[in-house]
Amino acid sequence: MLLIENMLRLENILLTLCNKSVKLIASVRIFLLVAIEMACTTAVLGQDKLEMGLFLGASYYMGDVNPSQHFKDPRPAIGFIGRYAFSDRLAAKLNVIGARLEGEYPSGGDIYLNYGGKEYEFERTIVDVGVTGEFNFMSYDHMFFKDKSRFTPYLTAGLAATCYKSYEEESDGKQRIVLSLPFGIGAKYKINEWLRVGFEWTMRKTFCDDLDLVGDTRGTINPADPYGMGKRVLTHNNDWYSLAGITVTMSMWPRKLECNDGTRSFNK
């Protein structure tokens, strides 16, 4: 009897261990499947995406000659853009844009006290080279929701360099490169796997005060000293300009990604 009881106990212990082993194996298997699925999804969603294309739009100036009116005296602006998407929410963009800025004084209702009655006007050609980030308000071009993530508005901000030829009384001028701070809003739409269009409006805060300075300022205002203080003030760097236009880009080298389980593939 004692031998039989011991054998029954041993059988129960073995059955218990076996059940626990089966549950453990099942749990490990489920964990591995979930981990593989997450790794596959992360690899797909985190895949880089490169776009290249054109910016076509207009530029305008704001500063001493035009202190308050947006879209006044717009001039053509054209350039190249490249966009790198980190995810469906974040992207970085490089731009190289050539533009013209023009303005005249007096214009509108803004009159400086030392205005001498003579009209003043200027024109300037600039090249804007900038690197900006984009934050999408909505999921854009999501791998698993492509039809529902074709459009998004976004915010953009970053750093840029403004290249232009400054006015010098003693010479034909010299090339200058100054820092500017771009920021603005935009929207983009994915037409198909290759083609995307968008609209963007940004302001550029520059750290210079001579974008509007050209030629003889006798009898009119001096944009470098509009209040007639007799000297230039470093803090009076209030030249701004804006770029607004459409973007047309194409996806470059889309790749097919194989999932880790070897049974599915995704077009990026």
pLDDT reported for residue 253: 63
Q: Rounded distance, CA 40 to CA 229, Å?
A: 66
pLDDT reported for residue 106: 57
| Residue the block writes with tokens 């701004």 | 240
State the 10-residue block means of pLDDT for the chain, 268 residues long.
56 57 53 48 52 96 84 94 92 96 70 57 91 93 74 96 78 80 96 92 91 65 55 63 96 59 47
What predicted TM-score, i.e. pTM, was given to this entire model? 0.70
pLDDT reported for residue 248: 97
pLDDT reported for residue 228: 52
pLDDT reported for residue 16: 62
pLDDT reported for residue 61: 92
Retrieve residue 256's tokens: 């097919």
pLDDT reported for residue 208: 86
pLDDT reported for residue 33: 54
pLDDT reported for residue 196: 93
The torsion region of residue 2 among left (phi > 0), alpha (psi -120 to 50) and beta comes to: alpha
Give Dmax over CA atoms of the chain in angstroms. 124
